Chain A
Amino acid sequence: MSGADAAGGREPEATDGDEPLLTVRGLTKQFGGIVAVDGATFDVEAGTLTGLIGPNGAGKSTTFDLITGVQRPDAGAVVFDGDDVTTHRADRLARAGLVRTFQIARELSEMTVLENVMLAPRDQRGETLWRSVLPGARGAVIEQETALREEAWETLEFLELDHLATEYAGNLSGGQRKLLELARVLMTDPTMVLLDEPLAGVNPTLETKLLDRIHELRDRGLTFLLVEHDMDVIMNHCDPVIVLHQGAVLTQGSPSEVREDERVLEAYLGGEVDG
Chain B
Amino acid sequence: MSDQDRRGPVGSRVDAVADGVRSFVSTSDARLLLVFALTLYGLFTVVSVLLGYNFNGIVDTLRRITFLSGVYAILVLALNVQWGYAGLFNIGVAGFMAVGVYTMAILSSPTTNTFPGLGLPLPIGIVGGVLAATVLGLLAALPALRLRGDYLAIVTLAMAEIVRRVFRSPVFQEFSIGSVQLGTGGSRGMNLPENPIRTLFYQNPGEAGSPPNGLGSALFDAASAAGIEPSVVEGWVYATMLVVAVGLVYWLLRRVGNSPFGRVLKAVREDEVVARALGKDTRLFKVKAFAVGCALMGLGGILWRLSGGYVSTTMFQPIYTFYVFVALIIGGAGSNTGSILGGAAFASLLFEGPNFVRRIVTGYVDVGAAPNSLYDAIAALGGLDLTPLVAYSLSDVNVSALRLVLLGVVLIYLIQNRPEGLLGHRKEVASPIDLTDRGTEEGDG
Q: For the complex formed, measure the closest distance between the CB of A72 and the CB atoms of chain B, giving whole angstroms.
A: 14
Does A60 touch B at the CB level, under 8 Å? no
Does A118 touch B at the CB level, under 8 Å? yes
Residues in A neighbouring B334, C-beta threshold 8 A: 110
Residues in A neighbouring B262, C-beta threshold 8 A: 132
Count of B interface residues, CB-CB < 8 Å = 42
User: Using an 8 Å CB-CB cutoff, how does the interface string of A142-171 with B read, 1 for contact, 0 for none?
Assistant: 110110011011000000000001101000
Q: Contact between B278 and A124 (Cβ–Cβ < 8 Å)?
A: no
Which of B270, B276, B431, B445 contacts A138, CB < 8 Å? Answer: B445
Residues in A neighbouring B267, C-beta threshold 8 A: 108, 111, 119
Does B307 touch A at the CB level, under 8 Å? no
Q: For the complex formed, measure the closest distance between the CB of B267 and the CB atoms of chain A, giving whole angstroms.
A: 5
Does B259 touch A at the CB level, under 8 Å? yes
Does A265 touch B at the CB level, under 8 Å? no
Does B164 touch A at the CB level, under 8 Å? no
Bound-state CA distance A100–B441 (Å) is 32
Q: Contact between A133 and B270 (Cβ–Cβ < 8 Å)?
A: no
Bound-state CA distance A68–B274 (Å) is 12
Does A213 touch B at the CB level, under 8 Å? no
Bound-state CA distance A188–B116 (Å) is 57
Bound-state CA distance A248–B262 (Å) is 42
Question: From A93, which residue of chain B is reached at the shortest CB distance?
Answer: B279
Bound-state CA distance A109–B425 (Å) is 11
Does A95 touch B at the CB level, under 8 Å? yes
Residues in B neighbouring A138, C-beta threshold 8 A: 255, 259, 432, 443, 445
Does A238 touch B at the CB level, under 8 Å? no
Q: For the complex formed, measure the closest distance between the CB of A177 and the CB atoms of chain B, giving whole angstroms.
A: 12
Q: For the complex formed, measure the closest distance between the CB of A92 and the CB atoms of chain B, giving whole angstroms.
A: 8
Bound-state CA distance A93–B276 (Å) is 9
Does B138 touch A at the CB level, under 8 Å? no
Q: For the complex formed, measure the closest distance between the CB of A129 and the CB atoms of chain B, giving whole angstroms.
A: 5
A contact patch SS:
helix
| Interface size range on A against B | 35 or more
Does B263 touch A at the CB level, under 8 Å? yes
Q: Contact between A108 and B271 (Cβ–Cβ < 8 Å)?
A: yes
Q: Contact between B273 and A119 (Cβ–Cβ < 8 Å)?
A: no
Does A70 touch B at the CB level, under 8 Å? yes
Bound-state CA distance A93–B281 (Å) is 11
Does A106 touch B at the CB level, under 8 Å? yes
Q: For the complex formed, measure the closest distance between the CB of A224 and the CB atoms of chain B, giving whole angstroms.
A: 16
Q: Contact between B261 and A149 (Cβ–Cβ < 8 Å)?
A: no
Q: For the complex formed, measure the closest distance between the CB of B258 and the CB atoms of chain A, giving whole angstroms.
A: 8
Q: Contact between B281 and A91 (Cβ–Cβ < 8 Å)?
A: yes
Residues in A neighbouring B276, C-beta threshold 8 A: 89-91, 94
Does A236 touch B at the CB level, under 8 Å? no
Does B64 touch A at the CB level, under 8 Å? no
Residues in A neighbouring B148, C-beta threshold 8 A: none
Does A241 touch B at the CB level, under 8 Å? no
Interface centre among B277, B281, B292, B427 (most CB of A within 10 A): B277
Bound-state CA distance A184–B276 (Å) is 13
Q: Contact between A118 and B263 (Cβ–Cβ < 8 Å)?
A: yes
Interface centre among A89, A126, A128, A168 (most CB of B within 10 A): A126
Q: Contact between A150 and B438 (Cβ–Cβ < 8 Å)?
A: yes
Does B226 touch A at the CB level, under 8 Å? no
Does A112 touch B at the CB level, under 8 Å? yes
Q: Contact between A145 and B432 (Cβ–Cβ < 8 Å)?
A: yes
Bound-state CA distance A10–B418 (Å) is 47
Question: From B440, which residue of chain A is reached at the shortest CB distance?
Answer: A146
User: Using an 8 Å CB-CB cutoff, how does the interface string of B261-289 with A read, 1 for contact, 0 for none?
Assistant: 11110110111011111111110010010
Which 3 pairs between the two chains have the least Cβ-Cβ distance? A94-B279, A126-B260, A132-B259
**Residues of chain A at the chain B interface (Cβ within 8 Å):** 68, 70, 89-95, 99-100, 102, 106, 108-112, 114-115, 118-120, 122, 124-129, 132-133, 135, 138, 141-143, 145-146, 149-150, 152-153, 165-166, 168, 184-185, 188
**9 A-B residue pairings within 8 Å (CB atoms):** A106-B274, A111-B270, A112-B427, A115-B263, A124-B260, A127-B261, A129-B292, A138-B443, A145-B260
Other A-B contacts than A115-B263, A153-B438, 16 sampled, CB-CB below 8 A, are A68-B277, A91-B278, A94-B276, A106-B274, A111-B267, A111-B270, A115-B435, A119-B267, A119-B275, A126-B259, A135-B445, A141-B259, A145-B260, A146-B433, A146-B441, A168-B427
